[in-house]
């Protein structure tokens, strides 16, 4: 559909809790395609959530298959999720995360190593997906956006765990 402008912190829309999608219809499919187009256009992104483009709906896309870390691990390719919910978490790891909405910084964040997530796909069918490693981390990161959370909210110490990106 279209590449959308990514909202930047401290835009107040990024702190809003998104509403559930009642029906996966053409409008929702268009939103998912906008998310995919925006992610691909960025060139370096492995995921985008609807609130990052100003849509307060529970929808995210993730695709780690083209990233350095994603190529090294098993992944599911492009995943389009509506109303995603993590139903199992296992393990814990600290990872350095960045975000298109916070382009100047990265930070150390604690995430589950493995997750099981259920969601509606683009056809509105319930899916259950097991994910681990970098893909699981990317899914958790994008899902945080649906609850108005940024990785900045998960950094233990802004003094020791937040880093300015090198230009």
For the segment 96-151, what is each residue's pLDDT rounded down to a tens digit? 999 999 999 999 999 999 999 999 999 999 999 999 999 999 999 999 999 999 99
Q: Is 92 a residue of the active site? A: no
| Residue 165 confidence (pLDDT) above 80 | yes
pLDDT in tens, 52-109: 999 999 999 999 998 887 778 889 999 999 999 999 999 999 999 999 999 999 999 9
Structure tokens at 25: 């219809």
Distances from the Cα of 135 to the Cα of 35, 111, 115, angstroms: 17, 11, 10
Residues of the chain above pLDDT 90, percent: 91
Among residues 97, 104, 113, 142, which one is catalytic? Answer: 142
- Exposure string of 114-126, with b = 16+ CB inside 10 Å and e = fewer, is ebbbebbebeeee
Task: Give the whole-angstrom CA distance, residue 13 versus residue 70.
Answer: 29
Is pTM, for the whole model, over 0.95? yes
> Can you tell me the distance from the alpha carbon of 15 to that of 33, in angstroms, rounded to the nearest whole number?
23
| CATH code for the part of the protein at 12-164 | 3.90.45.10
Considering Cα of 139, then 38, then 56, then 13, what sign does the dihedral take? positive
The residues, ordered by sequence, that sit 6+ positions from 114 with a Cβ below 8 Å of its Cβ are: 88, 89, 90, 91, 130, 131, 132, 136
What's residue 110's pLDDT? Answer: 97
HEC-encoded secondary structure of 123-167: CCCEEEEEEEHHHHHHHHHHHHHHCCCCHHHHECCCCCCEEECCC
Going from N- to C-terminal start, the domains of the chain cover 12-164
**Among candidate residues 166, 152, 134, the one with its CA nearest the CA of residue 8:** 152
The closest alpha carbon to 76, from 115, 27, 35, belongs to 115
């Amino acid at each position: 559909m279209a590449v959308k402008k990514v909202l930047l912190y401290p835009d107040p829309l990024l702190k809003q809790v998104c509403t559930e999608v009642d029906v996966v219809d053409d409008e929702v499919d268009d939103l998912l395609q906008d998310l995919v187009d925006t992610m691909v256009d960025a060139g370096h992104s492995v995921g985008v959530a609807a609130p990052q483009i100003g849509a307060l709906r529970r929808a995210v896309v993730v695709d780690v298959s083209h990233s350095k870390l994603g190529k090294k691990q098993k992944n599911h390719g492009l995943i389009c999720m509506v109303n995603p919910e993590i139903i199992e978490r296992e393990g814990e790891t600290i990872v350095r995360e960045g975000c298109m909405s916070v382009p100047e910084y990265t930070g150390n964040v604690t995430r589950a190593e493995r997750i099981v997530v259920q969601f509606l796909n683009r056809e509105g069918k319930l899916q259950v997906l097991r994910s681990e490693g970098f893909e699981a981390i990317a899914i958790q990161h994008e899902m945080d956006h649906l609850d108005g959370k940024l990785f900045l909210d998960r950094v233990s110490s802004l003094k020791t765990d937040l880093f300015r990106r090198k230009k």
